[in-house]
Amino acid sequence: MAFRYIVFNKPYGVLSQFTDEGTGHPTLKDYIPIPSVYAAGRLDRDSEGLLLLTDDGKVISQLTHPRGHAQKVYWVQVEGTPTPGKLEQLERGLVIQGRTTLPCEVRLLSDPGLPPRVKPISPHGPTSWIEIKIQEGKKRQIRHMTASVDLFTLRIIRVAIDFLQLGDLPVGGWRELSPLEIQKLRTMN
């Protein structure tokens, strides 16, 4: 049996699952007509960007477990000023809900020029973009991290999972991985 591997550019407001469980929100089923694939990790409804879907349980496990060391890269629009001290705090790790996050990489970004989000953002002050690279992915972790240094998260876009890049895949678009990408994915440590 051949496994399926799909990269999807998840829009804002879409659930990272195939059923809405009565919520009325759009789901993966509204975009991807392939049965029996599952998200390897999730993006919350308010987050956007790269989502990998597969029916390969081994790959799902290695990408979602922190021991797999799969780095996830996020572009985060925040309200407030990300001072060097705040960026350093994010990098070192923070205590969130009684647990310290792993150290990560953080840097200030210039405006990435992304298309506007479906639901417009109305900030109350200046906004900035930062890039955060993490190897874990606890529920709403990026939002909790930025809030703990007084930066209110306005928008999150995952742009990479390890070597897989969102690139120019349109919002709501998906594609199958190439044979080379599948080979790299299956041999990740």
The DSSP secondary structure of 132-179, one letter per residue, reads EEES---TTHHHHHHHHTT-EEEEEEEEEETTEE-TTPPTT-EEEPPH
Radius of gyration of the chain (CA): 17
E strand or H helix that includes residue 90? helix 84-92
Catalytic (active site) residue 44: yes
Q: Which helix (H) or strand (E) holds 89?
A: helix 84-92
Alpha-carbon distance of 59 to 184, in angstroms, equals: 11
Of residues 20, 44, 46, 55, which has the active-site annotation?
44
At which residue do the structure tokens 């990998």 appear? 52
CA distances from residue 89 to 69, 77, 79, 82 in whole angstroms, order as listed: 21, 17, 17, 10
Q: What are the residue numbers of the active site?
A: 44
